[in-house]
Amino acid sequence: MKILSSEIQAKEVLKNYTDIVLVPTMGNLHDGHISLVNKAKEIGKTIVSSIFINPLQFGVNEDFDSYPRTLENDLIQLEGAGSHFVFHPSKEILEGIKKRKAPLLSKKMCGKTRPDHFDGVVTIVGKLFEVIKPQFAVFGLKDYQQFLIIKDLASLSDFETEIIGSAIVREKDGLAMSSRNNLLTSDDRLLAPEIYKRLCWIKENISKKPNEILIKESIDFFKTKGLVPEYLKICDAENLEDLNHFSGRALIAIAMKLGDVRLIDNILLD
- The domain boundary, picked from 166, 190, 217, lies at 166
What is the reported pLDDT for 67? 83
- The domain boundary, picked from 142, 166, 190, lies at 166
In this model, does residue 61 exceed pLDDT 80?
no
In this model, does residue 63 exceed pLDDT 80?
no
In this model, does residue 266 exceed pLDDT 90?
yes
C-alpha distances out from residue 3 to 39, 49, 52, 230, Å: 21, 10, 13, 39
| 41 and 19 belong to one structural domain | yes
- The domain boundary, picked from 144, 166, 188, lies at 166
Cα 266 from Cα 255, distance rounded (Å)? 9
| 153 and 24 belong to one structural domain | yes
First-residue to last-residue Cα distance in the chain: 39
| 36 and 149 belong to one structural domain | yes
Domain with residue 208: its CATH number is 3.30.1300.10
In this model, does residue 117 exceed pLDDT 80?
yes
Q: Catalytic: which of 30, 33, 84, 245?
A: 33
| 189 and 133 belong to one structural domain | no
| 183 and 243 belong to one structural domain | yes
Judge whether 33 counts as a catalytic residue.
yes
Task: Determine the Cα angle at 78 with ends 74 and 81, to 5°.
Answer: 140
Percent of the chain with pLDDT over 70: 100
| 228 and 115 belong to one structural domain | no
When pLDDT is cut at 50, 70 and 90, the band that residue 65 belongs to is: confident
| 25 and 153 belong to one structural domain | yes
Partners of residue 145 on adjacent β-strands: none
Phi, psi of 255 (to 5 degrees): -135, 140
Q: Could you write out the three-class secondary structure of 39-104?
A: HHHHHCCEEEEEECCCHHHCCCCCCCCCCCCCHHHHHHHHHHHCCCEEECCCHHHHCCCCCCCCCH
- H-type alpha helices, 91-175: 110-113, 117-132, 144-156
When pLDDT is cut at 50, 70 and 90, the band that residue 156 belongs to is: confident
Cα 188 from Cα 205, distance rounded (Å)? 26
| 13 and 94 belong to one structural domain | yes
Q: What is the pTM of this model?
A: 0.95
What is the reported pLDDT for 71? 96
Domain that holds residue 240: 179-264
| 63 and 115 belong to one structural domain | yes
Within-domain flag for 172: no
What is the reported pLDDT for 60? 75
Question: Which is higher by pLDDT, 24 or 65?
Answer: 24
Within-domain flag for 189: yes
Within-domain flag for 269: no
Based on the structure, what is the number of domains in the chain?
2
